[in-house]
């Protein structure tokens, strides 16, 4: 019954245009249509945050947004935060502080953490735990994720000071 819609997105700096069913969930657009498979699907009730991306400056669970809603917006996924040759300080810190094991929550975790540190560059441990509460991890017990985010914050703040 539904007509395909003309959708325009900017994903990791690249313009994308295509026809899609309005009901297509953004997470499927990213993964299956655009082959951006870093964001994952861990649930169907909007709890786990494995699909977290940044949309127009907000951390959003891409499983809870229709592609029709997202049309016209700018999206950043883990692939846009940093790649193997240009790791973001958060990616380096997750590696060095063992902030991941299976790696399934990690793209959502790091994407969310990047936004958290943008809003609050010096978070306390409590603020990190609360600020990351929309992201579930099965492996780490969170402890090393907190350490990773703290280390990245310190690194990013030092780099900012050095640049000033």
Partner 1 sequence: MIPAAFEYHRPQDMAEVLAVLEEHGDEARVMAGGHSLIPMMKLRMADVPHLIDLQDVGGLSNIDIGDDSIRIGAMVTQAAIIDHEGLGAVAPILREAALQIADPQVRYMGTVGGNVANGDPGNDMPGLMQCLDATFTVVGPEGERDIPAREFYEAAYMTAREDDEVLTSVTIPLPRGGYAYEKQKRKIGDYATAAAAVQIENDGGTCASVAIAMTNLSDTPVYSEAAGAALVGTSVDDVAIKAAVAAMLGDIDPTEDNRGPVAFKKHVAGVILRRAIERAWSRA
Q: Which is nearer to partner 1, 66 or 87 (CB)?
A: 66
As a whole number of angstroms, the distance between CA 145 and CA 43 comes to: 21
75-89: string of b/e by CB count within 10 Å (b at 16+)? Answer: bbbbbbbbeeeeebb
Cα 160 to chain center, whole Å? Answer: 22
Stretch that binds partner 1, among 1-9, 31-39, 83-91, 150-158 (CB under 8 A): 1-9
Binding string, residues 102-141; x marks residues near partner 1 by CB under 8 A: ----------x---x--------------xxxx-------
By the rule CB under 8 A, 69 interacts with partner 1: yes
List of E strands, the chain? 5-11, 14-20, 52-55, 58-61, 74-76
Stretch that binds partner 1, among 66-74, 85-93, 94-102, 148-156 (CB under 8 A): 66-74
Q: Which is nearer to partner 1, 83 or 130 (CB)?
A: 130
As a whole number of angstroms, the distance between CA 85 and CA 56 comes to: 26
Q: CB-based burial of residue 25 (10 Å sphere; 0-12 exposed, 13-18 middle, 19+ buried)?
A: buried
Residue 39 and residue 30 in contact, taking contact as beta carbons nearer than 8 Å: yes
One of 13, 58, 126, 164 touching partner 1 (CB under 8 A): 58
Site for partner 1 in 27-56 (CB under 8 A): 41, 44-47, 49, 52
Closest contact distance (angstroms) between CB of 100 and partner 1 is 19
Binding site for partner 1 (CB under 8 A): 1-3, 5, 21-23, 25, 41, 44-47, 49, 52, 58-61, 63-66, 68-69, 112, 116, 131-134
């Amino acid at each position: 019954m539904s007509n395909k819609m003309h959708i325009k997105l900017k994903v990791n700096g690249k313009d994308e245009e295509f026809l899609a069913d309005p009901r297509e969930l953004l997470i499927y657009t990213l993964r299956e249509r655009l082959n951006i498979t870093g964001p994952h699907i861990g649930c169907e009730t909007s709890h786990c945050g494995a699909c977290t991306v940044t949309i127009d400056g907000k951390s959003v669970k891409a499983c809870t947004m229709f592609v029709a809603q997202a049309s016209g917006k700018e999206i950043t996924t883990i692939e846009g935060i940093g790649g193997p040759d240009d790791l973001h300080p958060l990616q380096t810190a997750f590696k060095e502080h063992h902030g991941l094991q299976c790696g399934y929550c990690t793209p959502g975790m790091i994407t969310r953490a990047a936004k958290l540190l943008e809003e609050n560059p010096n978070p306390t441990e409590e603020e990190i735990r609360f600020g990351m509460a929309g992201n579930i991890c099965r492996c780490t017990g969170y402890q090393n994720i907190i350490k990773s985010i703290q280390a990245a914050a310190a690194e990013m703040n030092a780099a900012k000071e050095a640049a000033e």
